[in-house]
Structure 1
Amino acid sequence: MDDPHDDIANMTYEQALKALEDVVRRLESGEVALDESISLYERGEKLRAHCQARLDAAQARIEKIVAGPDGAPVGTRPFDEEA
């Protein structure tokens, strides 16, 4: 696995998600030897953690624009904060 795309830390969310889907597909096929299944599972867990970290980072950056009485933006608040 010397493919540069295998460096999980440098993967985009989309690349990591596709790689995770491939791991799941291979594991669900039942056509993988036990040792390879364990390696795939470990890789899948690393990919899952990477995807979650990317989602958490994205959510932290998403903010709603708060409009003042004149409709002009006056600030921001966290995306998941109630209006």
Structure 2
Amino acid sequence: MTDDGTTTAGATGRLGYEQARDELIEVVRRLEAGGTTLEESLALWERGEELAKVCRRWLEGARARLDAALARPEDGDGAPTP
């Protein structure tokens, strides 16, 4: 964890969706509250951008998995054909 309360950028790629989302919510809350220096605000903004990318990748992956599952042909009983 850094001095501004965020985790390091190196750990971003290993975050799960919920972790990234929760940290992004905290970053937004801190930015909206104000009271940070310009340097702190920029660091928070950059961290927020990284976290948003992590969330986007997770959601795109989930969408691709869902699309693949929906594209599988079904047999007569409604179950997907292996």
Consecutive aligned runs of 4 or more in structure 1 exceeding 3 Å deviation: 65-68
State the TM-score, normalizing by the size of structure 1.
0.75
**Among candidates 35, 43, 52, match of residue 39 of structure 1:** 43
| Alignment gaps of 5+ in structure 1 | 77-83
**Larger RCO of the pair (alpha carbons < 8 Å, separation 6+):** 2
CA RMSD of aligned residues (A): 2.4
Change in CA separation of 1:29 and 1:60 when aligned onto 2, cut-off 3 Å? same
Tell me the TM-score normalized by structure 2. Answer: 0.76
* Greater helix content: 2
What is the aligned-residue identity percentage? 36
- Unmatched runs of 5 consecutive residues or more in structure 2: none
The number of residue pairs the alignment matches comes to 74
